[in-house]
A and B are shown apart, each in its own frame.
Chain A
């Protein structure tokens, strides 16, 4: 199985900050990586797919990048609506696996 190691587990930041979350795959996933945002009591929402493609309707302050087996989600200027948990997911092969999650908290 492919392991997804996500960091940090918690991140404290202020409105307007640039925020970066990292996910590392245990082997090549050929860019088949997605990022989701989840708010308490709600279902996850797809933000980014294929490592760097922005899902329709998602604000452009969200972006994704890839370098080998390391993937990054960047929020360019954190907004109040962005305080939530974020998960990466590899969908290169079964079983599909998620990272452990990153909770973005208000500093």
Chain B
């Protein structure tokens, strides 16, 4: 059974940093691209970042470029989101999600339950 479980969320002050983790199981993690998607309270979904299966290609939404970095450790079946210079508008539930098809344009077929990040003083 495919499982994704996020951790690392919490309350952080504006300008602070946080690292989110997502541990994967039930599939060959190193074969799949992975994503972070966020949802602000009461709002819609926003794709944040993608990392290809081998970590060599990464893509970001413009609003996080230069502040947020996606990475992965295939030996540990883990995905990360390193967040710096956090702003109030980064407050959201952060989901990790798997590309449905390796190495191709793909929607997201498995999602974790999410971890809440709150940026507030």
Whether A97 and B44, one on each chain, are in contact in the complex, defined by CB atoms closer than 8 angstroms, is no
Residues of chain A contacted by B60 (CB below 8 angstroms): 95
Q: Which of A46, A94, A96, A99 contacts B109 (CB 8 A)?
A: A46
B residues with CB within 8 A of A? 35, 37, 44-47, 50, 59-62, 95, 97, 100, 105-109, 111-114
Cβ < 8 Å to B, chain A residues 35-93: 36, 38, 42-46, 49, 55, 87, 89, 91-92
Residues of chain A contacted by B108 (CB below 8 angstroms): 34, 44, 46, 89
Whether A95 and B61, one on each chain, are in contact in the complex, defined by CB atoms closer than 8 angstroms, is yes
How near does chain B come to A51, taking the closest CB pair, in angstroms? 11
What would 11 A/B residue contacts be, using CB atoms closer than 8 Å? Answer: A43-B111, A44-B37, A44-B45, A44-B111, A45-B111, A55-B109, A87-B44, A92-B105, A94-B59, A97-B47, A98-B47
Query: Closest residue to B109 on the A side, CB-wise?
Result: A46
Residues of chain B contacted by A100 (CB below 8 angstroms): 44
Whether B95 and A87, one on each chain, are in contact in the complex, defined by CB atoms closer than 8 angstroms, is no
Residues of chain A contacted by B59 (CB below 8 angstroms): 94-95
Range for the number of chain A residues in contact with chain B:
20 to 34
User: How many A-B contacts at CB < 8 Å in the complex?
Assistant: 57
Whether A96 and B50, one on each chain, are in contact in the complex, defined by CB atoms closer than 8 angstroms, is yes
Given contacts A43-B95, A43-B114, A49-B100, contact A98 B109 (CB under 8 A): no
Query: In the bound complex, what is the Cα–Cα distance between A20 and B44 (angstroms)?
Result: 19
Q: Which of A32, A36, A99 contacts B105 (CB 8 A)?
A: A32
Whether B47 and A49, one on each chain, are in contact in the complex, defined by CB atoms closer than 8 angstroms, is no
Given contacts A43-B95, A43-B114, A46-B100, contact A98 B107 (CB under 8 A): no
Residues of chain A contacted by B50 (CB below 8 angstroms): 94, 96
Whether A46 and B62, one on each chain, are in contact in the complex, defined by CB atoms closer than 8 angstroms, is no
Whether B113 and A43, one on each chain, are in contact in the complex, defined by CB atoms closer than 8 angstroms, is yes
